[in-house]
């Protein structure tokens, strides 16, 4: 037991004493006080107490005056939505003697930015933080202590939380070029991200399939570049290119006023919005709008409709390319308060540069060795432009090629043949980990046959959750250059808002915990149980989340010698039971139970599902195998 001398209230912490107390609770028939705690991301330290604070319509809330303009309307709105209560929020000094919630600005230097202390006593709740971000994060933890659907007088368990983020960069990237998403949809996701302490929204605004941000100096970027021919219903990689005479009804863009509205909405929610203008490649929509920026004269293009987009790189040798981009960056930089501006720099097909007279003259004049160094020349000029606008440049890890781009921040996404997660910090670059193997949630999250079309890879909830962003090979000094981690949702295979959410959730919650919580407090079993509790919150917030956690991965091997088929059924979810049938019928909890590899006769049709202890089928997506 840990005694807090200021209130005669006792708290217990995990450890031997906590275990003995748990045993005592069980013997006495008392519920373990930590059982109802389901906070994502997991706080760094939780001390459970005994008893509860009774939240009611009479509870008063006090917040510092300096944060009242932003925090008061947000608190009022969320408490109304969560509880149906119109609680009174006051700014300034506390006047009541008991039964209140107090947000208190602390001068404690041990509380870094975004950190907080949350203490629940029977007569009061006190939140301490050194800044607005810490208070906002504390409120998200407090919200998660309130059961979904609760009304009337609500019991919040007595506890004490000391919490701070592991990483300053806790990001989510959303691609709105491949499939445009409305302003309202973006606001909804930012609100949801912030509820889980995600604090960076990386907005992929331009690519081959659409330019999504208004640039006043270059109106054709949205007049033409934001619209493409309709190929919906055709597989992404099988779409034929658009013809000039075709209607271009698919697309959309954000006006600068809408961008400002989104940024302000995000600011109140402690979310920084980072824009990405992807160049020199991934620029087919830009080139379609302004073909004079291409390597060769008299070229006419249409905005890509999907699949491969050849000839999508800007000319790196034309001076007007850099003049054009400087005007674009100038408008974008003026719109976004973030100190960062992402310029892409990835997957550049340089074959046209080899044949382009402008590019080859630049290679010669700048004494470059090859087109790899020409890309470095391009990136370095972009970096100078970005810096001149008072911003820091971010690029995908391809910008390390050639001579690199000193002063830039690297998003390390490639793995395998490339090792930017090691090379970038070792070369002194601030680095954000965005591993395509673990954090690209455009990949499906369950067996391919049970999911909609997507890339071949699978990033399950547990795979993302169990990923460690910092490589063991890094020294402490190198590891200190890792700013954080980010999950990325590319939009080739998310044609609808509903499917976009399906791919985001609940994996965004796993990403939030990877980015916030220290490895020592992470635990898959605990997270699985907690995220299942949060399904009710996602449903309340009208989020179309995936239940692929409950999918079954089925395979078999033929034993030709004994004329048997050896059946293998696996699931990432713990604590549940697989039942299966061999005649193609839908399994129930009365079917055969799978307890390990089983030998069956070839020719049977196996159907399997995952069930809870009450016999409920957890996912309607059944695994089916024909043992041929």
Check if 534 is active-site: no
Q: State the sign of the Cα–Cα–Cα–Cα dihedral 243, 246, 248, 250.
A: negative
At residue 559, the 3 state secondary structure works out as strand
**For 7, what's the count of Cα atoms within 13 Å in the CB-facing half-sphere?**
19
Nearest to 210 by CA among 305, 123, 274, 133: 305
- In 3D space, the residue among 310, 184, 181 whose CA is nearest the CA of residue 250 turns out to be 181
Active site residue 365: no
Helix (H) or strand (E) holding 360: helix 357-365
Closest CA to 502 of 539, 546, 458: 546
Instruction: Check residue 428 and report its DSSP letter.
Output: T
Neighbouring C-beta atoms of residue 487, cutoff 10 Å: 29
Rounded-to-integer distance, Cα 527 and Cα 223, Å = 46
Across the strands, what pairs with 610?
A: 578
Contact by Cβ (8 Å): 460, 445 = yes
How many angstroms separate the CA atoms of 115 and 75, rounded?
18
Q: Is 278 tagged catalytic?
A: no
Q: Which of 114, 207, 214, 276 is catalytic?
A: 207
In Å, how far from its chain's centre is CA 77?
A: 24
CA–CA separation, 67 vs 135, rounded Å? 9
Q: Are 574 and 516 in contact (CB under 8 A)?
A: no
Contact 170, 484 (CB under 8 A): yes
C-alpha dihedral, 589 to 592 to 597 to 601, nearest 10°: -140
Classify residue 24 by burial, with Cβ atoms within 10 Å: 0-12, 13-18, 19+: exposed
Residue 60 token pair: 């008063």
Q: In this structure, are residues 238 and 257 in contact, taking their beta carbons and an 8 Å threshold?
A: no
- Omega into 41 within 30° of 0, i.e. cis? yes
Q: Could you say which of 86, 264, 347, 480 is catalytic?
A: 347
User: Under a CB-based contact definition with an 8 Å cutoff, are residues 275 and 205 in contact?
Assistant: yes
Cα 224 to the chain's mean position, in Å?
Answer: 30
Kindly state the tokens that stand for 252: 């959309």
CA distances 553 to 21, 344, 460, 600, 606, Å, are 40, 36, 11, 17, 12
| List of residues 6+ apart from 81 with CB closer than 8 A | none
Sign of CA dihedral 120, 124, 129, 135: positive
**Cβ atoms of residues 432 and 411 within 8 Å:** yes
> In 55-170, where does DSSP find H-type helix?
68-83, 132-144
513, 510, 512, 529: which is closest to 521 by C-alpha? 513
First-last CA distance in the chain: 61
Backbone angles phi, psi at 53, to 5 degrees: -90, 130
Catalytic residue among 179, 282, 467, 499: 282
Give the span between the Cα atoms of 419 and 426, in whole angstroms: 11
Q: Which residues are catalytic?
A: 207, 282, 347
């Amino acid at each position: 037991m840990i005694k807090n001398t200021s209130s005669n209230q006792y708290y217990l912490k995990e450890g031997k004493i906590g275990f003995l107390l748990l045993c005592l609770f069980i013997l006495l028939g008392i519920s373990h006080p930590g059982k109802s705690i389901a906070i994502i991301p997991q706080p760094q330290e939780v001390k459970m107490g005994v008893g509860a604070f009774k939240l009611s319509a009479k509870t008063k809330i006090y917040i510092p005056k300096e944060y009242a303009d932003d925090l008061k309307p947000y608190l009022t709105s969320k408490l109304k939505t969560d509880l149906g209560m119109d609680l009174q929020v006051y700014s300034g000094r506390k006047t009541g003697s008991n039964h209140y919630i107090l947000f208190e600005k602390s001068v404690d230097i041990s509380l870094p930015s975004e950190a907080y202390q949350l203490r629940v006593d029977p007569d009061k709740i006190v939140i301490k933080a050194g800044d607005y971000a810490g208070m906002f994060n504390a409120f998200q933890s407090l919200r998660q202590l309130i059961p979904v659907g609760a009304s009337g007088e609500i019991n919040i368990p007595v506890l004490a939380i000391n919490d701070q983020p592991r990483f300053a960069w806790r990001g989510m990237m959303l691609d709105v070029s491949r499939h445009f998403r409305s302003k309202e949809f973006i606001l909804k996701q930012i609100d949801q991200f912030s509820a889980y302490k995600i604090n960076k929204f990386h907005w992929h605004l331009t690519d081959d399939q659409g330019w999504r941000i208004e640039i006043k100096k270059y109106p054709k970027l949205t007049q033409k570049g934001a619209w493409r021919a309709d190929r919906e219903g055709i597989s992404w990689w099988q779409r034929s290119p658009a013809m000039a005479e075709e209607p271009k009804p698919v697309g959309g863009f954000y006006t600068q006023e809408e961008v400002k509205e989104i940024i302000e909405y995000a600011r109140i929610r402690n979310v920084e919005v980072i824009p990405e203008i992807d160049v020199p490649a991934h620029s087919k929509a830009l080139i379609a709008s302004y073909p004079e920026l291409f390597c060769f004269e008299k070229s006419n293009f249409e905005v890509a409709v999907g699949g491969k987009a050849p000839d999508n790189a800007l000319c790196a040798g034309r001076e007007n390319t850099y003049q054009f981009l400087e005007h674009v960056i100038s408008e974008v930089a003026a719109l976004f308060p973030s100190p960062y501006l992402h310029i892409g720099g990835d997957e550049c097909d340089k074959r046209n540069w080899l044949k382009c007279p402008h590019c080859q003259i630049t290679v010669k004049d700048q004494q470059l060795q090859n087109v790899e160094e020409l890309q470095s020349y391009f990136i370095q000029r972009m970096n100078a432009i970005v810096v001149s606008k008072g911003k820091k440049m971010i690029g995908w890890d391809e910008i390390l090629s050639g001579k690199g781009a000193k002063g830039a921040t690297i998003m390390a996404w490639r793995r395998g043949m490339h090792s930017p997660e090691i090379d970038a910090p070792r070369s002194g670059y601030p680095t954000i980990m965005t591993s395509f193997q673990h954090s690209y949630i455009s990949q499906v999250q369950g067996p391919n046959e049970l999911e909609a079309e997507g890339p071949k890879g699978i990033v399950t909830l547990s795979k993302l959750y169990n990923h460690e962003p910092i490589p063991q090979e890094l020294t402490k000094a190198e590891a200190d250059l890792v700013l954080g981690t980010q999950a990325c949702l590319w939009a080739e295979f998310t044609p609808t808002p509903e499917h976009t959410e399906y791919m985001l959730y609940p994996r965004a919650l796993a990403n939030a915990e990877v980015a916030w919580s220290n490895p020592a407090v992470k635990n898959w079993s605990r997270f699985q149980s907690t995220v299942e509790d949060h399904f009710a919150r996602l449903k309340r917030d009208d989020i179309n989340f995936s239940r692929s956690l409950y999918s079954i991965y089925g395979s078999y091997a033929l034993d030709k010698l004994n004329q048997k088929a050896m059946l293998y059924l696996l699931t990432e979810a713990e604590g549940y039971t697989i039942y299966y049938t061999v005649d193609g019928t839908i399994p129930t909890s009365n079917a055969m139970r799978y307890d390990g590899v089983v030998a069956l006769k070839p020719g049977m049709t196996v159907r399997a599902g995952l069930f809870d202890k009450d016999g409920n089928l957890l996912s309607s997506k059944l695994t089916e195998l024909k043992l041929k």
